[in-house]
Structure 1
Amino acid sequence: MAIIELHDLHKTYRVHQKKEGLLASLTGLVRRTYKTVRAVDGISATIEAGEMVGFLGPNGAGKTTTLKMLSGLIFPTSGDARVLGYVPWERHNEYRRQFALVMGQKNQLWWDLPAADSFRLHQEIYAIPDAQYRATLGELTELLGVGGLVSQPVR
């Protein structure tokens, strides 16, 4: 059974082109020029239950944009996707309980608190049962070799 299906997924952005200089800045307030950026260009894939995949590519290849579309944070320009049987950008509550996107940025953690405290906050926000939370935390800290670090302040 496919848990992720992507069909010709596209995402483009319109980006303001700002020229240098004061006069150009003032002109830009009245007459803006835009450039279309193609962030994702027709990705199609099927991922079956139990499959492990890597999503690799150079900077600017559209990896993060694709993941944001799969999480429902942004809409595609065109194309279709189903994750766990849901259309992600419809943002059904049941889908949001089953799918989480954790980006590897330190700013998702509270600077002065241990990572474990931030994880507990997310456990509460997403209503994760305590036994499941503890099992998953134990599995991931062991897998990543960071068991001793989660109780230290992030900074």
Structure 2
Amino acid sequence: MEPPSYEEARLHPPALHIERYNIPPPPSYHVSLHSPPTPPPTYGEAGVSSSVGGRQTQPVVTQPQPVPVALTYLGDVPAVVRCPHCHRVVTTKVTYLPGTAACCMCLLLFMMGFICGCCLIPFMVRSLQNAHHSCPHCENHLYTNSR
């Protein structure tokens, strides 16, 4: 039995369950979009304003100042601290140098037989290195986060 031709298929009414899948086409690209009659308020207008002497004053919003952390809480990323040498609030400059963890891992890999330079990989892994924090202004050493 052969399937019906296109002309024969058009003569038959569509199945009832197909009607629920009739989705209207998307809107035309040439239809203009609805735009609001007035622009949105500015940041100053949207904030809470107060009235002083019949005059509107806008609130002043400022960024909070960074709070310096204690030197003992420094990790392996730069942080805001107060330098004990020059007494400035600075973001520390961090240099990474191989520490005990890198040397131990190198020795362990060497003993496992990775002699062809693979045992030197721990010296390039940042998470195995010590973080040395220093002041960018006076260049004094502040703290070492050891691994």
TM range (shorter): under 0.3
Scaled by the length of structure 2, what TM-score is found?
0.21
Of Structure 1 and Structure 2, the greater helix share is in 1
Higher relative contact order (CA 8 A, sep 6+): 1
Scaled by the length of structure 1, what TM-score is found?
0.20
The structure with the largest alpha-carbon Rg is 2
